[in-house]
Amino acid sequence: MRILYIQQYFKPPNQPGSTRSYWISKTLIEKGYDVTVVCHANIMQGKNQDKRIEETVIEGIRVISILNAYSNNMNVKQRIWSFLKFMFFSTFVALKEKDVDLVFASSTPLTVAVPALMRKLFRKTPYIFEVRDLWPEAPIQLGFIKNKVLIKFLKWFEKTVYKNSEHVIALSPGMQEGVAKYIPKEKISMIPNMSKIDMFWVREKDMNLNDRFGLSNKTFKIIYFGTLGFANGIDYLMDAISLLENKKIENIEFIFMGDGVKIKDLQYLSANLLNVKVSILSRQPMDIVSAVVNNCDICICTFSNFPILKTNSPNKLFDSFSAGKPIIVNSDGWTKELVENYNCGFYVNPENVFDLADKILLLKENPELAAEMGFNARKLAEEKFDKSILCNDFYMLIKHWEESNKLSKK
C-alpha cells in the first residue's frame, strides 16, 4: 500500500526539530508500506535546494521537499504566507502523485489538510488526519487571528477536515476532546508524542561537552529545550530567574537550547546577571540535545497560561522522561497529571514564579528526591511512551484501516 505523508516539519534525527514523522515513516516502511513524505525543504542535509520541488531519499524514506522558508521568528503575516505557499505546492504534489492508496496529513497548521481534501475530491483517495495542535483555536486564543469572518470560516474548515477523514489521530486527551466536538469518539485515536529511550538515556556526564558550549562544570543545571516563542512561557522562566538572582542564589545555571522570538530577551537578561548563570545554545541535532540534557539536573516544560495550551503534547516532555530527569511543568492539564500521578516531577502555578523557584531549590537541596523522580520518569518512558510502542500503535491503526477497507470493497 502506498501512503503519501504530508508533514511540513519532517526531520531526521541529525537535524534539529521534531522527529515524530521520521520514526513513523521508518516503522511503516519496515512493515512493508511504501511511504512518500512531503515537507519543507529544510530537511536537506547540508544541501541548499535550488528547485521549488525536489525529490530525495533520506535513510530509505522517499522525500519530496518544497522550497519554502519558515521560522518561529517570522511575524504573523510571514507565517500565513509560508503556510499558504506550502499548501499550494503540496496540493500540486499530492494531485500529481500516482497510485496513492492513503494520504496521511499531519498538522500544524490546519492548511496541511488542503492537499488531502483535494486528493480525496479529485482522485477519490481517502485520508487520515493527525492533530498536533487544535487549530484554529490555538491561534485564536493566542490573539494571532482576530477577524470574526476568518474565525468562522476556519472553524467550518476544521469541522470539514475531521468529517471527511477516515480517522483522526490526536496527540493528547485534550486534543481528542476538542476533535470529539465534531465527530464520533470512535473515529478518534490518541497517540501522543514519543519518548526515545535509545536516543535519550542516563549516563556519565560529559564535562568536555560543557567546555564546548561554555557551560559550568559546577552548577546545578535546569534546561529548557525547544521553541523560544510567545506561547512557551519564556517570560515566566525569566521572572523566576530574576527572582533567584535577587535572592542571590548561586551555583544555579539555566540552559536554553532552541530558537524563537524570545531569544533576544533571554540574551539581555543573561548579560545583566551576577549570581544565576543563563546559557543560550542554538538548536542542535538530537544526539547533542541528548548529551546536553544528560549533563543537566532538571528539565522544564513550560507554556504561557492559555487554556488551549493545556492540551499540548510537548516533545521535550517525553524526551525528558527518556533522559531520566525530574520534570517541572506549568500546564494544568494532562502533563500535570502525568508528572504527579507517576511522581516524576512537579506542577507549578503558571501565575506564581515563587512556586517555580521553590521547586527548583527543593530539587537542588534534595538530590535523593531528584534521583527518585528521574528514575520514575525513565520507567514511564520505557513502559508507556517509547517510540517502539507508539509507532506500533500507529502501524496497527493503519493495518486495521487497510483490512477494513479491503473487506468493505468485497
Q: In terms of domains, do 271 and 224 share one?
A: yes
The predicted pLDDT at position 106 comes to: 95
Q: Which residues contact 409 (CB under 8 A, 6 or more apart)?
A: none
Burial class of residue 32 (count of CB atoms within 10 Å of its CB; 0-12, 13-18, 19+): exposed
The predicted pLDDT at position 17 comes to: 83
Residue 211 in any domain: the answer is: yes
Amino acid identity, position 324: G
- C-alpha cell belonging to residue 8: 511540513
Region 89-95: what's the mean pLDDT?
A: 95
Query: How far, CA to CA in Å, does 269 sit from each of 235, 240, 272, 340?
Result: 11, 12, 5, 31
pLDDT for residue 206 is more than 60: yes
Region 242-248: what's the mean pLDDT?
A: 95
Closest Cα to residue 18, out of 255, 196, 175?
196
The predicted pLDDT at position 303 comes to: 94
Residue 362 in any domain: the answer is: yes
**Domain range for 136:** 2-194+386-409
The predicted pLDDT at position 408 comes to: 56
- C-alpha cell belonging to residue 388: 517502539
234: left (phi over 0), alpha (psi -120 to 50) or beta: alpha
pLDDT digits (tens, 9 = 90+) for 64-88: 999 887 777 777 788 888 888 999 9
Q: In terms of domains, do 251 and 149 share one?
A: no
Residue 89 in any domain: the answer is: yes
The residue count for the chain: 410
Region 245-258: what's the mean pLDDT?
A: 95
**Distance from C-alpha of 54 to C-alpha of 70, rounded to nearest angstrom:** 17
Residue 109 in any domain: the answer is: yes
pLDDT for residue 406 is more than 80: no
Q: In terms of domains, do 372 and 392 share one?
A: no
DSSP bridge pairs for 259 = none
Residue 404 in any domain: the answer is: yes
The predicted pLDDT at position 44 comes to: 46
The predicted pLDDT at position 298 comes to: 97
Q: What is the DSSP letter of 348?
A: -
**Distance from C-alpha of 36 to C-alpha of 58, rounded to nearest angstrom:** 11
Query: How far, CA to CA in Å, does 153 sit from each of 149, 183, 193, 256?
Result: 6, 18, 29, 38
Region 352-369: what's the mean pLDDT?
A: 97
pLDDT digits (tens, 9 = 90+) for 263-321: 999 999 999 999 999 999 999 999 999 999 999 999 999 999 998 889 999 999 999 99
Residue 201 in any domain: the answer is: no
Calculate the average pLDDT of the chain. 92
pLDDT digits (tens, 9 = 90+) for 93-131: 999 999 999 999 998 788 999 999 999 999 999 999 999
Residue 202 in any domain: the answer is: no
The predicted pLDDT at position 45 comes to: 45
**Distance from C-alpha of 238 to C-alpha of 226, rounded to nearest angstrom:** 16
Q: In terms of domains, do 19 and 140 share one?
A: yes
Residue 41 in any domain: the answer is: yes
CATH of the domain at 95: 3.40.50.2000
pLDDT band for 61, please (50, 70, 90 cuts): very high
Q: In terms of domains, do 215 and 335 share one?
A: yes
Q: 280 versus 139: which is more confidently predicted?
A: 280
Region 4-27: what's the mean pLDDT?
A: 92
Count of domains observed in the chain: 2
**Distance from C-alpha of 125 to C-alpha of 396, rounded to nearest angstrom:** 20
The predicted pLDDT at position 407 comes to: 55
pLDDT digits (tens, 9 = 90+) for 207-219: 999 999 999 999 9
Residue 331 phi/psi, 5-degree rounding, is -100, 125
Q: In terms of domains, do 101 and 224 share one?
A: no
pLDDT for residue 405 is more than 80: no
The predicted pLDDT at position 265 comes to: 95
Q: In terms of domains, do 395 and 323 share one?
A: no
Q: In terms of domains, do 153 and 52 share one?
A: yes
Q: Which residues contact 263 (CB under 8 A, 6 or more apart)?
A: 228, 256, 280
Region 142-166: what's the mean pLDDT?
A: 92
Look up the pTM and report it.
0.92
Burial class of residue 228 (count of CB atoms within 10 Å of its CB; 0-12, 13-18, 19+): buried
Q: Are 286 and 343 in contact (CB under 8 A)?
A: no
Q: What is the DSSP string of 161-185?
A: HHHHSSEEEESSHHHHHHHTTTS-G
The predicted pLDDT at position 142 comes to: 85
